[in-house]
Chain A
Amino acid sequence: MTIRRENPAKFNFKNIARRSVLKGAVSGAALLAAPAIFSGRAQAAGKYMDLESLRGANIDWRQAEGAKITIGVIPAGYFKNLEAVLPDFAELTGIDARLEMTPPGQIRQKAVLDLSSGTGTWASHAADPMYYPLYVANNWVDPLDGYLGNGKLTDNSWFQYEDILAGWRGVTSVDGKPYGIPFDGEATIQVYRKDVYDKLGLKPAETFEQFMSNAEKAHDPDNRLWGSALRGFRGAGQNMYIYPSIFRAFGGEWFDSSGRMVVNGPEAVAALEWYVKLLNNYSPQGVENWNWPDIADAFGQGTVASYIDAHGSAAIIANPEKSKVVGKIGFARWPKGPSGKRVTSIWNWSFPINAALSDKDKAATWLFIQWAASKETQAATSYAFPGAYKRTGANRTSVWGLDEYKAVLSAAGDNYIAATTESFAEDTDVEWRPRLPQWPAVGDTMATAIQSSLVGQSSVTEALNEAQRKIDAVLKG
């Protein structure tokens, strides 16, 4: 029996609504088992990947044979793809690695609970980059330079750590030392309705003023078209995910020369005012409750003319089963702020090593991480994945340069790949959000301030002053 990969060269967003079904947590591997896909290759081929290429690495993949490790991840398409190809890892290494799907809202707490109590339940987990300062301050995770530099554990001429996107490496490192290896991530980019912009003679915004004026011109709520939308929902990963880009583009610095965190300076006020003005004037009602899926859903329904959010949101708006605007989508980098900077997000899920593990389990975990972050696995879980969902957040410059990968992505819309890769290369800013151990509390405080000024509970200045007071207290205590 031959099972062909469907449309290998197309960005197959078509069956995306079914992707969670296709790549099921438990039985997904069986469903997708399509060994014939690579049947042309030698018996050395695993179910999904060419193991020979992995065996080319000059390390003993079987050095931790028999180890059992659990890795906490979130139920997202990219981890479901990774789970589907896990049998190949078991075949390569003899390690029994399992993913534990944990809801995104709880994974951080569960990781902190595990790490702080030293139980070693999760050998590794999908870590929020903002949590590394906290992890490192408590020595909960191992520095990875020792692993990268250990010839017994790593063949860097094969693994090529430096090939991983620089901004992502930066944000998973603390004081220059890597603590996590990025697996999947995103940049925020400008997304707009090409047809609407063409009709009105608009161009994707180059500056914040243009973005505002584009939104104003496209704004036509009587015909159910709103000018723009950004994340309004309160949360460190919601409104405090989009505001930092604006703050930095306005020239804001999180820390003053004495190292004190300042969130109520003039740049902060201007940035928050811009955000509030845009959303209050040109966004649909209720935007203060919108997280990014809501934005993408609205854009897909044709009711929002532009937004700035993760490049991965293309999976929704370019999916013909969910979206009415397929073929009418354009992409661009963030506009330049008043400081002349474009600042995108640096988001990724990365894998650290739990310091509470035994040496053997640490070796097993490192082999898992190295395997998951390798070019081979990145390819096997993205463009080469036999299911309908192809990952769009590959971690490596080299993968982003591959024609096969580009072919999968290009169907999303105009300028998608260029906007994303240029954002990675030019617009990432490691100091995009304030990196400090108290981030969970600081992020929450800022999120509250942003939302309370958005809904008019307090003025921008009051909200930021209040946030400053709370943050001062948190950082003192």
Chain B
Amino acid sequence: MTSRASTKYTRNAIWFVAGGLLLFVWVIPLIWAVIVSLKSESEVLAYPPSIFFEPTLQNYRDALFGGVSILPSLGTSMIVSTATTVLTIVIAVPAAYAFARLNLRGKKWLGFYTLATQMVPPVGLVIPYFLILNKVGWLDSYQGMVTVYLTFSLPFAIWLLVSYMEDIPWEMEEAAFLDKANRFQTLWYVILPQVRGGIAVTVIFIFLNAWNEFLFAVQLGGNTVRPVTVAMYNFVSVEQTLWAKLSAAALVAMVPMIIIGIAAQKQIVKGLTVGAVKGGGRR
């Protein structure tokens, strides 16, 4: 018995070490960025890299409150990403429900059509979007940017949510109908609590995609709408790269994502548990 326990112990230890090593590979750039962000520009390039140095928060101060502060851009990114996420969920949830539950004519075709926009490489869409937004007068505007972001967030969200909704046992809805609930009430009171985890996952992905988007932001934005991904280039000029400030700005830009990730994680776990307790549905 002891030998079996120790074998198990060894096996766990090996997995732990292997996992740790693997994780290390991915975490190192992040740790490196944190260290760099606390150094002065001259220390960044020192060889061998200095391990002991006087940490400074100056880079953060410069990135946030300096002449090329990224604060306004963080605000812009926040508005664009939040609006995109909210609108996406508001539209995608009923749409996904319809795809999952209703017997629509041409459902298959519609489903494919929804995904079709995802098949075009974004670069191919820049020119048409640019021309359309210009015609409407929405270049470099919030409504323009959010509309464009919706074009790729919606199909993704709908398809993701459909799979979650299809997993919910039909009987639950039937019970609701028997209690004289209408479609909307069923969706609201029965389906939504069940797909909470799915919505949380969708929110993370949509927000993250919008937050990190660069191609459309740079081509369709401008002085009014200048998300943080574009603004960060202020530290990468043709003349030199200000590594320390760039790292500081990048880390600051990560903060909202981390917060949303943590908040959403709770919902994801909850969603999983709900399914498990009810003992059905989730295949």
Contact = CB atoms under 8 A, between A and B. Distances in A.
Contacts of B72: 26
A70 B222 CA distance: 10
Interface in A38-58: none
Nearest to B223: A100
A23 interface: yes
B103 to A, nearest CB: 44
B218 A103 contact: yes
A438 interface: no
Nearest to A25: B68
Contacts of B241: 293
Contact of A113 (B45, B47, B219): B219
B238 to A, nearest CB: 5
Interface stretch (A71-79, A167-175, A367-375, A448-456): A71-79
Interface string B8-29: 0000000000000000000000
B235 interface: yes
B134 A104 contact: no
Interface in B109-149: 126-127, 130-131, 134, 139-140
A110 B220 CA distance: 9
Contacts of A106: 218-219
A315 B239 contact: yes
A23 B235 CA distance: 12
Contacts of B222: 70, 100, 121
Contact of B45 (A21, A103, A300, A315): A300
Q: Which of the four size classes fits the interface of chain A?
A: 35 or more
A24 B47 CA distance: 31
Contacts of B239: 76-77, 293, 312, 315-316
B218 A20 contact: no
Nearest to B133: A119
A110 B215 CA distance: 10
Interface string A356-368: 0000000000000
A18 interface: yes
B62 interface: yes
Contacts of B41: 17, 321-322
Given A113-B130, A117-B131, A316 B240 contact: yes
Interface string B225-261: 0000010011111111110010000000000000000
A121 B46 CA distance: 43
A102 interface: yes
B47 A224 contact: yes
A475 B163 CA distance: 50
Contacts of A76: 237-239
A221 to B, nearest CB: 13
Contacts of A98: 223
Contacts of A300: 45
A297 B47 CA distance: 11
Contacts of B127: 113, 117
B69 interface: yes
A279 B42 CA distance: 26
Nearest to A31: B67
A77 B134 contact: no
A102 B222 CA distance: 8
Interface string B151-183: 000000000000000000000000000000000
A322 B42 CA distance: 5
Contacts of B42: 17, 321-323
Contacts of A110: 218-219
A312 B237 CA distance: 13
Nearest to A392: B239
Contacts of B223: 70, 98, 100
B75 interface: no
B237 A75 contact: yes
A22, A102, A303, A315 pick with most chain B CB within 10 angstroms: A102
A75 B233 contact: yes
Contact of A25 (B62, B126, B140, B234): B234
B66 interface: yes
Nearest to A323: B42
Interface in A15-38: 17-18, 20-28, 31
A382 to B, nearest CB: 14
Contacts of A114: 130
Contacts of B245: 20-21
A76 B238 CA distance: 6
Contact of B67 (A24, A301, A321): A24
A300 B242 CA distance: 14
Contacts of A119: 130-131, 134, 139
Contacts of B66: 20-21, 24
10 contacts: A17-B242, A20-B242, A74-B238, A75-B236, A103-B236, A104-B238, A109-B219, A119-B139, A121-B134, A301-B46
Given A21-B67, A26-B72, 4 more contacts: A28-B68, A103-B230, A103-B236, A312-B239
Sort A-B residue pairs by CB-CB distance and give the 8 closest, nearest first.
Answer: A24-B67, A21-B66, A103-B233, A17-B41, A119-B134, A24-B68, A21-B67, A28-B67
